Amino acid sequence: MSVRGTRIPPHLRLPIAGVTPPPTEKEGQRLFPTGNFRFYRPVYRDKTPPCNNACPTGEQIQKYLDFVKHERFLDGYLTICEDNPMPSVTGRVCYHPCETACNRGEHDEPIGIRSVERFLGDYGLALPENPVAGGLPALGGTAVAIVGSGPAGLACAYHLRRRGYSSVIFEALEKPGGMLRAGIPHWHLPEEILDAEIAKLLSLGGIEIRCGVRAGEDVSWEDLRGYPAAFLALGQDVGRKLPVDGIGSRGVVGALEFLREAGLGRPVTVGRQVLVIGGGNTASDAARSAIRLGGGHATIVSLESEDELLIVPEDLEQARDEGVALTPNAALVRVLSSAGHVTGAVVCDAQLARDDAGTVVPRLVPGTEREVPCDTIMIAIGQIQQLAWLPSYLSDGGVITADEHGRVEGNVFVGGDVLRGPSMVVDALGDGKRAARDIDRLLTAQELTGEPDVEIMPYQGLNAAYFRHAPRTPIPLAPPEQRRASQKVEVTLAYSREQAIAESDRCMSCGVCNGCDNCYIVCPDVSVLRDARENGHYSIRTTYCKGCLVCVQECPTGCLEKVPELDFDDPAGVVRMETAFAPYDGAHAEQSAFTKRLIEETIAEYDAARASGNGRTAFMPNGDSGVTS
Amino acid sequence: MDKEARDVSSCIATAARALGLYADNVSDYVDDPDRTNCLVRRYARFGDSPIVDRFVYENPRPDWVVLVEETIIKAVDFLRGTPERSGVLVINSQRDPEYLLKFLPGEMKAKLAKFVVVDAVGLAEQRGGSPWMFVRNLSELAFDRMSTEGAEERLAIGLGIAAPLIGALVAATGVLPLDAVAGVVADRDAMMRGAAHHAVVEFAAVAQGAGKPETTQATAPAAAPHAAR
C-alpha cells in the first residue's frame, strides 16, 4: 500500500507512550507522588563516633581525618584547634583513648589517630601565621586567674581567649608548661615543640604567664577569689615518699623531681645502676631517661605483675627495646648505703593489694629478701600536691574537691591532676576546655549544665562489607641504639604526608555522613538528591521515595536511619496522590489535557469539513479511495 | 497487605450473604495489583435490594473505610464520594487518635461520623516475628501472589491482622451482628479482641456543626473497605 501523501492526524503524531513522562524524569515524579504510601522515611542523623566520644577534649576526629583524606590540612588543623590548643603536643604524648575506642579495632586495627594529629599539629606549627588568630572575638575586659601553666591551665586560657576573655596564668617554675616540661622527657616531647606551641598560644594575645609565682606563697587564696573567676590547675608535682630504712641516703631521688630537673635543663647526675620503684608511666619515663643520661642500666621494680603494669603497652615495649629491665611483683624493703650513699637495695617478692579505701597495701612475702646492687634509686609511687594554703575544707589527700562541674566554690573551678589525681595530658586539656566554657556561662549568668547525652555509633551499626581490610600504617620509631644515646632523639617519628593521608583514608566515619554517594548510587527511585543538600547531607525526594530502605541498608557509616513515616506530622509534608485512585483527576488530568484538546480539535475539524461539504476528510489517505461528496 | 484487605471485605460480604442480604465482594484491578506492596483497594457491598450492576470495580462512595496500614492515612483521599458525617474510618495503629486525626484535612474529616483506632498488629495472633502476612517464607508468599491474581486461596480467610480489624469494624458500625460475622472469620478470638479493644472518636452530626469530636473507648470497632448499595 502506498503511503504517498498519507496524512497522519495531529493527535496520532504524538508519541503517545511519551505523554506520561517516566518517573525517572522530574515531571514524572510530580505526576506519581508515590511517597505517600511510604511506611518508613530514610533520615540522615549523625551519631557520635566512639573516638570523638572517648577524647576528653571532644576532638572531632572523624571530621579532621576526613579533611586530611582530602588533603585539606588547614581545615583539619582548624578543626582540631576548636577543641585542643596543642595538637603537636598531644600528637606525641597522648595515650590516645580515641584509638582504644576506635571501631576499626573490631574490624582490623585502630586508626593511628594520634599520628595523624601529630602530622596536623606540626603542619600548623610550620605555618607562618597562626590561622586560629583570624577568627577570634575581640577581648573583653574580664581577666580570669589561672594557677598553673600545664596542659589544663593553658587549655583553659586558650578556650577563654576563644570566648573573648583574657587570663593571667601563675606558674611556680621558671618556665611555663607544667608537667609537659617538668614531667615529660624531651625524647618524648621535644622542648622546641612545647616552646613553639606555647608561643603560638601567647601570640593570640590576652594570655599573660607570670613565671616564678607560686600559689600559696606569692599569690593567696584571697587574691584568687578577687578575680572575676579563677581556674586551679596546679597539677600534682610532689612525689609520694616511701617509708623504708635508708630512704634518706644520697642517691635516692623522687622520679618526678628527677624528671623535673632534667626537663628544665638543670644538671642532673645519674648512676649506672638505676633502680626505679613503681609501676606507672612515671617509672617508665624515669628509667628510660636514666639510661639516656647515665648510660647504664635501669630496672623497674614494681608491685604489679607484668600484666597489671600501668605503663601503656607501647611505652613498655619501647622501654624494653631500650634495655629497661623489669622486676615485677617485688617491693623495696631497705636501702643499703655506705658513707651516706646508696650502694644497693634489698627487695623481696610482693603482691599488689588494696585496702577497702583503695589505698595500695603491699603484701610482702617474707623470706624472699635479696640484695640488688645499685647506685641510684628513683621513687615513682604516685604523686600529690601541697594544698595547705587552701582552706582545709577544699582539699582532701592531695586533690581539690569540687562538684560535678569541677566547681570549687563561687567562680573558682579546678581541673587536671589536682582534681582527678594522676591522669593523662588530654584529660587536663579537656578539663581546661570545660572550665573555660563553665566560666563563660557563669560570667554571662547562664546555668551550668552537664554534658549532653550523645548516641555513640557501635561497630555493629556500620555496614562493614564496605570497608576492605587494610593494615594500620606502622608508627615510625627511631632505632633503640640511637634512642639510648641522647635525651634529644625523639622515639616516635612523624607520619609522612602520604602516610597521614593513607591512614586517614582508613577511617570508617562511624555514624557520620562523609558524602560517599552510596545512597545516591543505590537508590532505585532517583530519590536521593545530591545537588540539593540539607545540613551538608543529601536530601531525600520525600514525595517520591517509596521507603524501600535500600539506602539505609547500604549506608556504610550508619548515619542513615529509618523513621516511621507517621512520626512526621507536618501537614505541609503530606502530598496526597490523586492519580492512583483517580486517573482523570489531579495532576494526571493536567498532563492529559493537551492530548484531550488535540482530539477535540481534530474532531471539530472533521465535523467542520463534513459540514462544509468538502469531500476529503482528514482521516483518509490522499489520492487512493478518498470519500467524495 | 493485599491479603488483609481482601479478608476484611470478603468476610463482611460472606457474613452479609449468610444473613440473607444481597452482597458482593470485588477485587479492584484498577489499582494495578501486579506491582508488589503498592497501594491496593478491595471493597464489599451489601444491602437488602438485588445488585443490578455487577461489574463495578471501583467503589465511588464508601461508607466504611478500613486502613490496613496506618501510613495510608497520609496517602490518598480514601473518602472520595462519602457524604458528610456518614463515614466510618477504621485504622490499624498503635498511635493516639488525636495524633492520627492531624493527618486528615478538614474536608476529609467533615465526612467522618466515627474514627476508630485499633491496634490490630498487637491484637492479632503473633505468628513468627510479625503478624503481617507479607512477613512469611517464600512458598507462602508465592501462594499469596497467586491468589492476588485470582488464583486459589490457600490460606484461611480472616486471619492475622484482618481479624481484629473486622472485629473493630463490625463493633463500631453495629450494622451486622458480631456473632454472624464471627462465624466466617477464621481467627475468631482475634476478631473478638478487636471488637473489644479499640478507641472511637465520634463526630457530631452535621446539624450541630463542627464541634469538638468526642472520644470514647467503645466495645466495638472494625471495618472493611465497603459500600452498601
CATH, domain range A141-237+385-434: 3.50.50.60
More confident residue, A210 or A361: A210
Cβ distance A580 to B76 less than 8 Å, yes or no, reads: yes
Say if B185 falls within a structural domain: yes
Q: Do A37 and B31 touch (CB under 8 A)?
A: no
Q: Give the residue on B whose Cα is nearest the Cα of A35.
A: B75
Q: Is the pLDDT of residue A539 over 70?
A: yes
CB B222 within 8 A of CB B166: yes
Give me the percent of chain A exceeding a pLDDT of 90. 52
CA distances from A362 to A245, A287, A383, A421 (A): 16, 22, 17, 20
| Topology agreement, domain A50-132+462-504 and domain A245-382 | no
Q: Which CATH architecture has domain A50-132+462-504?
A: Orthogonal Bundle (1.10)
A623 close to B (CB below 8 A): no
Contact in structure between A127 and A96 (CB atoms under 8 Å): no
Tell me which chain B residue has its CA closest to the CA of residue A566. Answer: B71
Query: In this complex, do B77 and A565 lie within 8 Å of one another by their Cβ atoms?
Result: no
Contact A566 B102 (CB under 8 A): no
Q: How far is CA B219 from CA A98, A579, B198, B215, B228, in A?
A: 58, 37, 7, 13, 23
| From A37, A569, A571, residue closest to B71, measured CB to CB | A37
Residue A151: count of CB within 10 angstroms of its CB = 34
CA B29, distance to chain mean position in Å, is 18
Q: Tell me, what CATH number does B37's domain have?
A: 3.40.920.10
Q: Is the pLDDT confidence value at A1 over 50?
A: no
Lowest mean pLDDT, pick from A64-73, A109-118, B215-224: B215-224
Closest CA to A439 of A138, A163, A59: A163
Question: Which residues have C-beta within 8 Å of that of residue A171, sequence separation ≥ 6?
Answer: A148, A149, A153, A178, A209, A210, A211, A212, A213
- A572 touching chain B per CB within 8 A: no
Kindly give, in sequence order, each residue whose CB lies less than 8 Å from that of residue A363, ignoring residues fewer than 6 positions away.
A350, A351, A352, A353
ipTM for this prediction: 0.79
pLDDT band at A150 (very low <50, low <70, confident <90, very high): very high
pLDDT of A593 reads 73
Q: Enumerate the residues of chain A whose CB falls inside 8 A of the CB of residue B93.
A: 566
Residues in contact with B79: Cβ distance below 8 Å, sequence separation at least 6, in sequence order? B62, B65, B87, B89, B108, B111, B112
Nearest to A509 by CA among A459, A441, A443, A584: A459
- Kind and range of the H or E element at A284? helix A281-294
Could you tell me if A566 lies within 8 Å of chain B, comparing CB atoms? yes
Q: Which residues of A379-414 are buried (b: 16+ CB within 10 A; e: fewer)?
A: bbbbbbbebeebeeebbeebbbebeeebbbeebbbb
Classify domain A245-382 by CATH architecture. 3-Layer(bba) Sandwich (3.50)
The pLDDT, as a whole number, for residue A242 is 85
Residue A533, pLDDT above cutoff 80: no
**Is the four-CA dihedral A610, A614, A615, A617 of positive or negative sign?**
negative
Q: Does A550 contact chain B (CB < 8 Å)?
A: no
Q: What is the mean pLDDT of chain A?
A: 86
Beta strand pairing call for B112-118 and B198-202: antiparallel
| pLDDT classification of A618: cutoffs 50, 70, 90 | very low
Q: Nearest CB to A36: which of B74, B80, B102?
A: B74
Residue A223 has pLDDT above 50, yes or no: yes
Q: B76–A39: do the CB atoms touch at under 8 Å?
A: no
Query: CATH top-level class for A33-48+511-573?
Result: alpha beta
- Angstrom CA distances, B89 to B85, B114, B173, B201, stand at 11, 6, 10, 10
Query: Which chain B positions have a beta carbon within 8 Å of A545's beta carbon?
Result: none
- A554 touches B: beta carbon within 8 Å: no
Provide the grid cell at A211.
613565671
Determine the Cα–Cα distance for residues A149 and A166; give it in Å rounded to an integer: 15
CA distance A214 to A519: 59
Q: Note the pLDDT tens digit of each residue in B155-193.
A: 688 888 999 999 999 999 999 999 999 999 999 999 999
| Strand A297-301 versus strand A273-277 pairing type | parallel
A382-396 tens-digit pLDDT = 888 888 888 888 888
Cβ contact B77–A574 (<8 Å): no
Do residue B99 and residue A569 have CB atoms under 8 angstroms apart?
yes
A584 reaches B (C-beta below 8 A): no
Do the beta carbons of residue A426 and residue A181 sit within 8 Å? no
Least confident of A59-68, A138-147, A257-266, B153-162: B153-162
Q: Which residues pair with A348 in a beta bridge?
A: A331
- The residue in chain B having the minimum alpha-carbon distance to the alpha carbon of residue A544 is B75
Grid cell listed for A541: 525526594
Q: Is the pLDDT of residue A158 over 90?
A: yes
Mean pLDDT for the stretch of residues A466-486:
91
pTM value?
A: 0.80
Least confident of A227-231, A357-361, B205-209: B205-209
Question: Residues in chain A, how many?
Answer: 629
Taking the C-alpha atoms of residue A597 and residue B93, their distance in angstroms, rounded to an integer, is 45
- Give the span between the Cα atoms of A401 and A407, in whole angstroms: 8
Distance CA A415, CA A236 (A): 11
Contacts of A38 in chain B (CB under 8 A): 71
> Does residue B229 lie within any of the structural domains?
no
Q: Supply the pLDDT for residue A290.
A: 92
Name every chain A residue with its beta carbon within 8 A of the beta carbon of B69: 39
- Work out the burial of residue A292: count CB atoms within 10 Å of its CB; fewer than 13 is exposed, 13-18 middle, 19 or more buried: buried
Residue B220: its pLDDT value, please? 32
DSSP string of A23-83, one letter each residue? TTSHHHHHH--GGGG-SEEEEE---B-HHHHH-TT---HHHHHHHHHTT-HHHHHHHHHTT
Alpha-carbon distance of B155 to B40, in angstroms, equals 19
Residues in chain A within 8 Å Cβ distance of B72: 37
Write out chain B residues lying below 8 Å of A36, CB-based. Answer: 74-76
Residue A615 pLDDT more than 70?
A: no
A77-81, long-range: CB < 8 A, 24+ apart: A77/A120, A77/A121, A77/A123, A77/A124, A77/A127, A77/A131, A78/A131, A78/A132, A80/A117, A80/A120, A80/A121, A80/A124, A81/A124, A81/A131, A81/A132
Q: Do residues A603 and B134 make contact, with C-beta atoms less than 8 angstroms apart?
A: no
Residue B93 in contact with partner chain A when CB distance is under 8 A: yes
Percent residues over pLDDT 70 in chain A: 89
Distance CA A384, CA A417 (A): 9
For A538, residues 6+ apart whose C-beta sits below 8 A from its C-beta are A44, A513, A519, A520, A528, A529, A530
- Tally of CA atoms within 13 A in the half-sphere of A338 that contains its CB: 6
Contact present, B9 and B65 (Cβ < 8 Å): no
Which residues partner with B92 through β-bridges? B118
> Residues A479, A485, A488, A492: what is their CA dihedral angle, to the nearest 10 degrees?
20
- How would you class A43 by CB atoms within 10 Å of its CB: exposed for 0-12, middle for 13-18, buried for 19 or more? middle
Q: Which of B58, B76, B93 sits opposite A577 (nearest CB)?
A: B76
Q: Which residues of B touch A577 (CB under 8 A)?
A: 75-76
Q: What is the mean pLDDT of chain B?
A: 80
On chain B, the residues whose CB falls within 8 A of the CB of A570 are none
Nearest to A321 by CA among A211, A482, A174, A179: A482
CB contact under 8 A, B105 and A571: yes
**Radius of gyration from C-alpha coordinates of chain B:** 16
Q: How many domains does chain B have?
A: 1
Amino acid in the structure at residue A403: D
A571: DSSP letter: G
Residue B96 is part of which domain span?
2-218
Model pLDDT, residue B228? 34
**A169 has a pLDDT exceeding 70:** yes
CB–CB contact B71 A566 (8 Å): yes
pLDDT of residue A587: 57
**Of A468, A557, A547, A460, nearest to A518 (Cα)?**
A557
Q: How would residue A459 be classed by pLDDT, with cut points 50, 70 and 90?
A: very high
The ranges assigned to domains in chain A are: 33-48+511-573, 50-132+462-504, 141-237+385-434, 245-382
Crossing angle (nearest 10°) for helices A497-504 and A113-126: 130
Say which amino acid occupies A309. Answer: L
| Segments in chain B below pLDDT 50 | 33, 147, 149-152, 207-213, 215-229
pLDDT, tens digit (0-9, with 9 covering 90-100), for A488-515: 899 999 999 999 999 999 999 999 988 8
Verify whether the Cβ–Cβ distance A574 to B72 is below 8 Å: no
| Chain-chain contact of B76 with A36 (C-beta, under 8 angstroms) | yes
Residues in chain B: 229
Q: Do B74 and A576 touch (CB under 8 A)?
A: yes
pLDDT tens, residue by residue, A253-279: 999 999 999 988 888 888 889 999 998
**pLDDT band per the 50, 70, 90 thresholds, residue A457:** very high
> B41 CB near a chain A CB, below 8 Å?
yes
Is A466's Cβ below 8 Å from some Cβ in B?
no
Geometric angle at alpha carbon B153, from B149 and B159, rounded to 5° = 115
Least Cα separation, residue B39 to chain A (angstroms) = 7
- The DSSP code for A458 is P
The H or E element containing residue A154 is: helix A151-162
CB contact under 8 A, A581 and B74: no
Q: Which of A525, A576, A578, A579 is best to mutate for the B interface (most B CBs within 10 A)?
A: A576
Candidates B70, B78, B103; nearest CB to A574: B103
pLDDT reading at A202 higher than 50: yes
Cα distance between residue A38 and residue A253, in whole Å: 73
